[in-house]
A and B are shown apart, each in its own frame.
Chain A
């Protein structure tokens, strides 16, 4: 396969279900997005909307059963990685596809030194012997700005602070110089200053190594700082995608508008924080029509029974308001049509 792909990762029509005693949870429904090389794509959305399931199914990390990928494809630089056998998948994950998790303390093995945990990846994927791997480990720790790497490498996770552990996770995921780094809420558990440091580190690494990053967050502030492109997720679907400017200045989906209004930084102290009323639909039985119908202030008749397609291309929105027959005044007042 020629490597003239514009996209580091291309996901099409991904659908994931979980079979539980209570029924089948349709956690991810028809999700498609593209990650441009060397850029950051942010996936935003409320808790439980399917962000983690989406990226974990790409990495082959959802437990099967109960989980099942019912459809879709994921192309890593043009090569299909969805539904591979574990042995084949292991040639990608950790090597060309790195991942960091929210809670670094629980994501690291408590009984193994962090040096060994990083070295392991090098030994497995890059066939290094222990000694060479260790030299590389120290370099990686220095790269992620951990002081005294030689001493730190011999320590165990419980001897580190949360922020330091997240650096360790980053060092570990970058060990094999992956093309794509998936970061699932890497800073949610950290305080604001440490969060800023970690985000800066990620951005610097992106510039240095040409990393493509998928950044999951529910913090639009983080999106504004980090992302080139954004995918807004709601109830297992992507409801709006576009560049960061599209999402912030030309929001085309009522849910995106709601998210923006709920952002604390947009408000003066006196103004009350506006949260989106209601709660997301039950994923055991997703609504026939638009998933946002029950909470949408613009809901129309058509929305109840008919699931909207995505209108627009590079900037797309899953909302009937962009249909030619929709009342135009709403668009003029509050929403923008997707640009192209």
Chain B
């Protein structure tokens, strides 16, 4: 198992290197540079700044210096904010994104498993139809529509009740997190519900469920000990992509709800062509996702003995 994890980590590092290189190249292909917007600068100041940030050096040398720094865990200094290191930005704003993301993921998986199991139990009866209607809605409506809609609802709610039950935007205690997390997890939850439903139905038709019934086990016991665990397996396999969707979806949701997360920084940085922030956040998000996919694999192997034992060999 350890060997397996090490192997996965090694592949992950190569992936991250690839992401970093590709971003570096793409970034330099875009015309202009971070200092191009600063109108007030004279040629001399610009030359000084370029020297300070190393932009006067050939691109290949910049690349080597950057990779070297990155290996030491140093993402450099932001262009847009004087004297603020990218590491500081990540350290300060990633926890916000992570909190939002974890809440959204929790909501999406718990909701997906629960609703999916319910639709399977009530197959072709009205709870199934109602839930599946909302699932289609959740999959097809983009999250910024949900975001705007929910803000409008909160506004009306606060107006009708005459008190501010939920904040419309911003960041703070759990009351601030609730709605953005719901919005962010919505499409993933819908997707997982659909997946859980078909997986539950598939499992309930298997021979081993028939065996469990032949053994005289109660319906509840069969559901908990035989159906659920096997039905959740396919859901876990898509948890990696789900985390990716929630992470990138966070960029939009953070912008709409004015949440000071790393995603919003990333969007800003792209607009300003802030080289170091773009590189830093991209590599960081990339590394984060690679790590998550590995963690999901490990989680999967704990639930499915076939994978675990294969990996041990």
Contact = CB atoms under 8 A, between A and B. Distances in A.
A181 to B, nearest CB: 11
Given A120-B225, A124-B221, A89 B216 contact: yes
A151 B221 CA distance: 26
A120 B309 contact: no
A108 B306 contact: no
A113 B309 CA distance: 13
A112 B309 CA distance: 13
Given A156-B305, A156-B306, A107 B215 contact: no
B217 A120 contact: yes
A120 B303 CA distance: 19
A158 B37 CA distance: 64
A93 B226 contact: no
B287 to A, nearest CB: 32
Contacts of A99: 211, 214
Interface string B292-307: 0000000000011110
A188 interface: no
Contacts of A113: 305
B216 A125 contact: yes
A59 interface: yes
A111 B303 contact: yes
Interface string B193-218: 00000000000001110111111111
B168 to A, nearest CB: 46
Contact of A91 (B207, B216, B309): B216
A250 interface: no
B214 A110 contact: no
B208 A106 contact: yes
A90 B222 CA distance: 12
B173 interface: no
A235 to B, nearest CB: 24
A216 interface: no
Given A111-B229, A112-B226, A156-B306, A93 B215 contact: yes
Nearest to B230: A111
Contacts of A91: 216
A156 B217 contact: no
Interface in B213-243: 213-219, 221, 225-226, 229-230, 233
B213 to A, nearest CB: 6
A87 B218 contact: yes
A45 interface: no
Contacts of A237: none
A111 B304 contact: yes
A50 B210 CA distance: 18
Contacts of B309: 156, 159
What is the interface residue range for chain A against chain B?
Answer: 20 to 34
A286 interface: no
Contact of B214 (A61, A87, A109, A158): A61
A86 interface: yes
Contacts of A218: none
Interface string A55-80: 00001110000000000000000000
Interface string A217-242: 00000000000000000000000000
Nearest to A90: B216
A103 interface: yes
A230 to B, nearest CB: 24
A89 B217 CA distance: 10
A163 interface: no
A94 interface: yes
A216 to B, nearest CB: 14
A141 B255 CA distance: 62
B216 A124 contact: yes
A121 interface: yes
Contacts of B213: 59-61, 93
A95 interface: yes
A59 B213 CA distance: 9
B306 A109 contact: no
Contacts of A125: 216
A196 to B, nearest CB: 24
A172 interface: yes
B231 to A, nearest CB: 10
Nearest to B203: A109
A229 B226 CA distance: 37
Nearest to B304: A111
A94 B206 CA distance: 18
A112 B215 CA distance: 15
A172 B208 contact: no
A18 interface: no
A195 to B, nearest CB: 20
A172 B206 CA distance: 18
Given A156-B306, A158-B306, A101 B207 contact: yes
A203 to B, nearest CB: 22
Nearest to B205: A63
A120 B215 contact: yes
B208 A108 contact: yes
Contact of B216 (A94, A103, A109, A111): A94
A92 interface: yes
18 contacts: A60-B213, A61-B214, A87-B218, A103-B207, A107-B207, A109-B208, A109-B226, A113-B305, A120-B215, A120-B221, A120-B225, A121-B215, A121-B216, A121-B217, A124-B217, A156-B306, A156-B309, A172-B215
Given A93-B215, A94-B217, A101-B211, 11 more contacts: A61-B210, A86-B219, A93-B213, A103-B207, A108-B208, A109-B208, A111-B229, A111-B304, A112-B226, A156-B309, A158-B305
